[in-house]
């Protein structure tokens, strides 16, 4: 069984590397699957592809619903194609129910880009915890890189939970915002603005242009307060009109400038830090999963929770006892 999983994965990895589109779709379906036998093959697949990953420019795009994310990704993706890049669009949307589709589920949202053979668009894997969805998107991103896509756009809806997960898998995190003023700015959580390497105010056109200008000025001021002056990169605030495909070149220019500012060593350090954070989250998830799977421990856990609430045992002591019980063979 294990040998099969490994040879299946090796075969599929070869096809993905060769640019076979159907193999790519199959590989992504595999890494998105939660079935235990699929997970095993998926892990072999990712391991086999790993040497061919890491060369893409990874960009995260977040913003509130209606900001114009899909309009922007369409315009920006088409610009990337013109510039000779090969974009792949992925998403993290932990809220999407299995039946209701996901933020990229509606292909008509990126009508031209989705029709272009050189681009690849994949909706968010549906269902499960944020950690699970993020892991599957991260692995799908690696598969895309190995398949030769050199620019990854990873979308998430900016409602306050998935941004950190996306910021942790990209080189640059972009916040896309609609024109808004005054109190409306408060709607965006400060923590999300702090994550941004680039703030893009969309809808800088027609009647909305003056508001876009004001919003850009307000975010410019806010970012000055949030960011240390000493950092190598100060997040710029740009204005675009995704609808009129205006400003796409400037956005791309800033993405490249950010890369230059980081330098190869800075980028490597950033990615290493991200990998370390992921490692620890995976360890936590694994331990939680094993705890839940061990029915025999449920009684112990319940007892310890009561003991803690009654002050009979400290939380660290109780945690140690659980981990020891978990490590005991046959428990």
Q: Which is nearer to ligand GDP, 41 or 156 (CB)?
A: 156
Give min distance, CB of 158 to ligand GDP, in A: 9
CB of 203 to ligand GDP, least distance (A): 4
Nearer to ligand GDP by Cβ, of 64 and 236: the residue is 64
**Which lies closer to ligand GDP via its Cβ, residue 30 or residue 91?**
91
Least CB distance from residue 40 to ligand GDP, whole Å?
Answer: 36
The rounded distance, in Å, linking the Cα atoms of 186 and 190 is 8
Query: In this complex, which beta carbon is closest to ligand GDP, that of residue 63 or of residue 235?
Result: 63
- Answer yes or no: are the C-beta atoms of 196 and 175 closer than 8 Å: yes
Which long-range CB contacts under 8 A does 6-10 form with residues at least 24 apart?
6/44, 8/41, 8/44, 9/41, 9/42, 9/44, 9/45, 9/47, 9/48, 10/44, 10/48
Q: What share of the chain is helix, strand, coil (3-state, %, to 5)?
A: 60, 10, 30
CB nearer to ligand GDP: give 121 or 297: 121
Contact residues for ligand GDP, defined by CB under 6 A: 63, 65-71, 202-203, 205, 208, 241-243
- Burial (Cβ within 10 Å: 0-12, 13-18, ≥19) of residue 207: exposed
Shortest distance, CB of residue 179 to ligand GDP, whole angstroms? Answer: 9
Closest distance of CB 215 from ligand GDP, Å: 13
Tell me how far, at minimum, the Cβ of 87 lies from ligand GDP, in Å: 16
Query: Between residues 108 and 310, which has the closer beta carbon with respect to ligand GDP?
Result: 108
Residues listed for the chain:
331
Please say which residue, 151 or 202, places its beta carbon nearer to ligand GDP: 202
Work out how close the CB of 218 gets to ligand GDP at its nearest, in angstroms, rounded to a whole number: 19
**Paired residues of 121 in beta bridges:** 89
- Residue 58 exposure: Cα atoms within 13 Å on the Cβ side: 23
Element (H, E) at 175: strand 172-177
Task: Residue 120: name the closest of 146, 100, 98 by CA.
Answer: 146
At residue 59, φ and ψ (nearest 5 deg) are -120, 130
């Amino acid at each position: 069984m294990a040998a099969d999983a490994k040879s299946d994965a090796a075969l599929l990895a070869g096809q993905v590397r060769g640019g076979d589109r159907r193999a790519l779709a199959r590989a992504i379906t595999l890494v998105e699957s939660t079935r235990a036998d699929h997970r095993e093959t998926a892990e072999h697949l990712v391991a086999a592809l790993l040497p061919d990953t890491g060369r893409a420019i990874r960009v995260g795009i977040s913003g509130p619903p209606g900001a114009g994310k899909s309009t922007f990704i369409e315009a920006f993706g088409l610009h990337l194609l013109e510039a000779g890049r090969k974009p792949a669009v992925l998403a993290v949307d932990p809220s999407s129910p299995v039946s209701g589709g996901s933020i990229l589920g509606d292909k008509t949202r990126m009508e031209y880009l989705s029709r272009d053979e050189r681009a690849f668009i994949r909706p968010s894997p549906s269902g499960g915890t944020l950690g699970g969805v993020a892991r599957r998107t991260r692995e799908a991103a690696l598969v895309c890189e190995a398949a030769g896509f050199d620019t990854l756009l990873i979308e998430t809806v900016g409602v306050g939970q998935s941004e950190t997960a996306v910021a942790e898998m990209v080189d640059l995190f972009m916040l896309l915002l609609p024109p808004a003023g005054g109190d409306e700015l408060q709607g965006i959580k400060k923590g999300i603005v702090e994550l941004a390497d680039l703030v893009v105010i969309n809808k800088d056109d027609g009647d909305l242009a003056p508001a876009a200008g004001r919003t850009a000025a307000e975010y410019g001021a806010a970012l000055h307060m949030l960011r240390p002056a000493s950092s190598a990169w100060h997040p710029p605030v740009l204005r675009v009109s995704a609808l009129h495909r205006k400003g796409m070149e400037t956005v791309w220019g800033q993405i490249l400038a950010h890369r230059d500012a980081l330098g190869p060593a800075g980028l490597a350090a950033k990615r290493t830090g991200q990998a370390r954070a992921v490692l620890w989250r995976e360890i936590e998830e694994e331990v939680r999963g094993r705890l839940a799977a061990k029915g025999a421990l449920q009684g112990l856990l319940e007892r310890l929770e009561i003991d803690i609430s009654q002050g009979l045992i400290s939380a660290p002591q109780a945690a140690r006892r659980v981990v020891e019980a978990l490590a005991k063979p046959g428990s």
